[in-house]
Amino acid sequence: MAENSLLSSKPTTPVGRLAPSPTGAQHVGNARTYLLAWLSIRSRGGRIILRIEDIDSPRVRVGAAEQAVDDLRWLGLDWDEGPDIGGPNGPYVQTERVELYRVALARLRCDERVYPCTCTRSDIESAASAPHIEHEGPIYPGTCAGRAAADAASLGDRAFAWRLRTTEVPREYTDLVAGTQRVNVKQQLGDFVVGKMDGSPAYQLAVVCDDHAMGITEVLRGDDLLPSAFRQIELFEVFGWIPPTFAHVPLVVGPDCRRLAKRHGDTRLATLRKEGVSADALLGLLAHSCGLRPTQAAVSAKDLLTGFSLGQLNPSPFVFDSRLLSPK
Ligand code: GLU
Ligand code: ZN
């Protein structure tokens, strides 16, 4: 008994991750999220894993992963494990981890948790009627849900994707930043794609397998992925794994209040660096935007560690304007 209580009272070291997708250059918005993910973990003495999320192959750009690593280093963020330094939970590049995802998908098939869906995007658009969460696309109406996993064999050469049979229960979780969230996954998000017909994974499956295998205890990312937390919690539950805690932080938007994108000008970190903006000047601005500093005076990532808490975070999106970084 005594031993048990000792074990259960042992504090677990927080483990977080930086998970860039090398589908393009990292910009000011990504930098703000990485800074917060890093501060949240490092301020509690935790460990950080760098993972490259490159399974979305048509969108992956040559050299973007290396560039993301350079950008993170330039910002003064560091990590304990990653593709550049190795570590016990490697490999750290998703395309090198496909076997893990394949096994997980096979398990979902054997347990009848997935079914082959042959619907095209326009099939789903025309069949879906329920209102859906903004940016999320139409809710899958369940057209193919009557199929069993084994029915995939009789589809001939018809293209299909593996969809998870979601549950119809109201779910609730407390987001460290966004507060209590409630969703009925089946009704409000719908059955979602976890893999392609060739057995390769979709984002939701890869992320859950990796976060579990790498022992991630906290996921901090942009709040555009908030609805995905429910999908991922659902998957963690199906596998019998413990989900991490989630923190979804407000995004950086342009002066038109829309998510920072190309139309807002060149906010790539590599460009700012070339223009002579220092990392500490950018971090000063980002820290100020988060409510961590009273002014935008230059500051290093390390200097922001003392006293950091997610509770200090300004809950509004940050409106970025490149003039904020111009030399005065
Ligand atoms: N790789 C994703 C991105 O760069 C992040 C996914 C996640 O944090 O779960 O947007
Ligand atoms: Zn379908």
Q: What is the 3-state secondary structure (H, E, C) of 264-300?
A: HCCCEHHHHHHCCCCHHHHHHHHHHHHCCCCCCCCCC
Q: Which residues of 260-285 are buried (b: 16+ CB within 10 A; e: fewer)?
A: beeebeebbbbebbeeebebbbbbbb
**Distance, CA 158 to ligand 2 centroid (Å)?**
12
Six token digits for residue 69: 């690593």
267: in domain? yes
Question: What would the pLDDT profile of 114-163 be if each residue is shown by its tens digit?
Answer: 999 999 988 888 887 666 666 678 899 999 999 999 999 999 999 999 99
- Closest ligand by atom to 158 CA: 2
Any atom of ligand 1 within 6 Å of the Cβ of 207: yes
Q: What is the pLDDT of residue 162?
A: 98
Q: How would residue 70 be classed by pLDDT, with cut points 50, 70 and 90?
A: very high
198: in domain? no
The ligand 1 atom at the shortest distance from the C-alpha of residue 232 is: 9
Q: Which residue has the higher pLDDT, 1 or 138?
A: 138
Q: Is 196 a catalytic residue?
A: no
Q: Of 106, 97, 133, which Cα lies nearest the Cα of 207? A: 97
pLDDT at residue 2 greater than cutoff 90: no
Question: What would the pLDDT profile of 208-237 be if each residue is shown by its tens digit?
Answer: 999 999 999 999 999 999 999 999 999 999
pLDDT at residue 280 greater than cutoff 70: yes
Any atom of ligand 1 within 6 Å of the Cβ of 231: no
113: in domain? no
171: in domain? no
**Distance, CA 247 to ligand 1 centroid (Å)?**
13
**Distance, CA 156 to ligand 1 centroid (Å)?**
34
Residue nearest to atom 6 of ligand 1 (CA): 19
Any atom of ligand 1 within 6 Å of the Cβ of 19: yes
CB atoms within 10 A of CB 116: 23
66: in domain? yes
Task: Give the mean model confidence (pLDDT) for residues 39-68.
Answer: 96
CB 66 within 8 A of CB 26: no
Cα distances (angstroms) measured from residue 206 to each of 115, 179, 209, 300: 18, 26, 5, 33
CB atoms within 10 A of CB 295: 10
**Distance, CA 22 to ligand 2 centroid (Å)?**
30
The number of folded domains in the chain is 1
Q: Which residue has the higher pLDDT, 122 or 14?
A: 14
Q: What is the pLDDT of residue 76?
A: 98
133: in domain? no
Q: Of 178, 243, 173, which Cα lies nearest the Cα of 204? A: 243
> What proportion of the chain, given as a percentage, has pLDDT over 70?
94
Any atom of ligand 1 within 6 Å of the Cβ of 94: no
Task: Give the mean model confidence (pLDDT) for residues 88-92.
Answer: 98
Distance of CA 17 to the CA centre of its chain: 9
Q: What is the pLDDT of residue 136?
A: 77
Any atom of ligand 1 within 6 Å of the Cβ of 225: yes
298: in domain? yes
148: in domain? no
Query: Domain range for residue 76?
Result: 26-90+250-328
Residue of 10, 186, 196, 262 with catalytic role? 262
- Closest ligand by atom to 50 CA: 1
Q: What is the pLDDT of residue 133?
A: 65
- Closest ligand by atom to 209 CA: 1
pLDDT at residue 6 greater than cutoff 60: no
CATH of the domain at 289: 3.40.50.620
3-state secondary structure of 196: strand
**Distance, CA 126 to ligand 2 centroid (Å)?**
12
Q: What is the 3-state secondary structure (H, E, C) of 65-109?
A: HHHHHHHHHHHCCCCCEECCCECCCCCCEHHHCHHHHHHHHHHHH
Question: What would the pLDDT profile of 164-212 be if each residue is shown by its tens digit?
Answer: 999 999 999 999 999 999 999 999 999 999 999 999 999 999 999 999 9
Question: φ and ψ at 63, to 5 degrees?
Answer: 85, -10
Report the distance separating Cα 186 and Cα 108, nearest Å: 17
